Amino acid sequence: MENFFREQQRLIESLSQTRRYLFSRIDWSERCIGILGARGTGKTTLMLQYVKERYSGSDKALYVSVDSPFFQANDLFEFARDFDQLGGELLLLDEIHKYPDWSTQIKAIYDTFPGMRVVFSGSSLLQISKQKADLSRRAIVYSLHGLSLREYINFSLCKEYPVFSLEELLANHQEIATEICQDIKPVRQFRDYIQGGYYPFFLEGEAFYRLKVREVINHILEVDLPCVSRVEPRQISKIKKLLYLLTVGVPFVPNIAKLAEATDISRPRLYEYLERLQDASLLNLVRSQGRGYEILTRPEKIFLENSNQMYAISNEVNTGTLRELFFVNQVRNMSKTHPEFIEKSIEISTRGDFIVNGQHTFEIGGKNKGFKQIDGMEDAYLVADDIEVGFKNKIPLWIFGFMY
């Protein structure tokens, strides 16, 4: 136990001071908290920052990563019992998806030690409701996404710009953009962000950033996907080929038969893998309005989950694809971040590019793009790249990065 406390202190001493949006949203008083998200988004840092703030110098809170060799030979429940006997109040378990039968262990800890709170983090692939042990009634689960453009600007320029809801942006985008542009050059920041600002480790420097993004992608495919989704290791090379084909072709209007043939993956299995890659925060699947989100429903467009992945995988990045990808990413993340926006959905529109929540239609393009596709439509907006401030129903693309 002493060694774990020593390791915790070492990690706390090297902590970043920047805090993600989720830190203040978590109700840390809950007895069981889950933090799920893609690798590299800052889950470990989030937990350690809370320990530092509330338990500095105390032995009442303990952070451990359960992928440690120690837990390959020792029972997690018994470890929690020992910590409880020492007066432990908060046990933080990182990389929980790598521990066998983890949900049963956490349920047992929750039920046996009422004086102990448990915080666990894991892959975004985890689906709590499908675990054998019913944690859905016990755990409050939060999702941590990559940095928004707003967070990237706040961290890199030491600013404190607030979050704006989608409705606030649609109603007041001109005033909001004008005020921000008096202080910074948002188009310049947007260009930097889409190439290298989605993951918090951008703060460690640019030199190896794309290499680190590729490492994140490979770890998800080679470790997390087989561990959580029980994908056979021999299928991983096929999935890597699938991901590459989707990258160089996005926004990919998929021909499932040709994709299946090119990757040597059966059509039913291909649909399943597309869904799993979305769960793993490697893809965003967008379907036509009214088509639903069930497996075996063909998505109309397939994007990588974030723009940094595009630059890490391919040197040839299509500008139109990049614009649509950014818009989809920020809207999706906003929807999953704010409980009040939980009903937000983004689908392919019959006119324009996307429709959000079945209500707002958006056409995405460059600064010279016109309103032809959405002319005469109500509640329709032109989202334009390379402009600082919009006018009426023409809105700058970058401002949609301020929604979480």
Burial class (CB in 10 A: 0-12, 13-18, 19+), 279: buried
pLDDT at 315: 84
Q: What is the mean pLDDT of residues 25-48?
A: 96
Q: How many residues does the chain have?
A: 404
pLDDT at 341: 47
What digits encode the pLDDT tens for the residues 204-222? 999 999 999 999 999 999 9
DSSP character string of 63-91 = EEETTSTHHHHS-HHHHHHHHHHTT--EE
pLDDT band at 251 (very low <50, low <70, confident <90, very high): low
Read off the tokens for 218: 């490979």
CB-based contact 128:139 (threshold 8 Å): yes
Instruction: State yes or no: pLDDT of 272 exceeds 70.
Output: yes
pLDDT at 291: 59
Read off the tokens for 332: 């999706």
> How many whole angstroms separate alpha carbon 116 and alpha carbon 111?
10
Q: Which residues of 107-129 are buried (b: 16+ CB within 10 A; e: fewer)?
A: bbbbeebeebbbbbbbbbbbebe
Read off the tokens for 209: 């950033």
pLDDT band at 293 (very low <50, low <70, confident <90, very high): low
What average pLDDT does the chain have?
92
CA dihedral 236, 315, 319, 260 (to 10 degrees): -30
What digits encode the pLDDT tens for the residues 47-94? 999 999 999 989 999 999 999 999 999 999 999 999 999 999 999 999
> How many whole angstroms separate alpha carbon 49 and alpha carbon 40?
16
pLDDT at 140: 93
* CA dihedral sign of residues 283, 306, 92, 24: negative
* Farthest CA pair distance, the chain: 69
CB-based contact 74:47 (threshold 8 Å): no
Q: Which residue has the higher pLDDT, 336 or 189?
A: 189
Choose the weakest-confidence range: 76-90, 126-140, 242-256, 347-361. Answer: 126-140
- pLDDT above 70 coverage of the chain, percent: 94
Kindly list the domain boundaries of the chain, sorted by start residue.
2-144, 148-404
CB-based contact 165:404 (threshold 8 Å): no
pLDDT band at 344 (very low <50, low <70, confident <90, very high): low
CA distances from 328 to 266, 285, 331 (A): 28, 9, 5
CA dihedral 246, 399, 38, 51 (to 10 degrees): 170
Fold of the 2-144 domain: Rossmann fold (3.40.50)
**Phi, psi values for residue 258, rounded to 5°:** -70, -40
pLDDT band at 342 (very low <50, low <70, confident <90, very high): very low
Instruction: State yes or no: pLDDT of 130 exceeds 70.
Output: no
Beta bridge partners of 380: 361
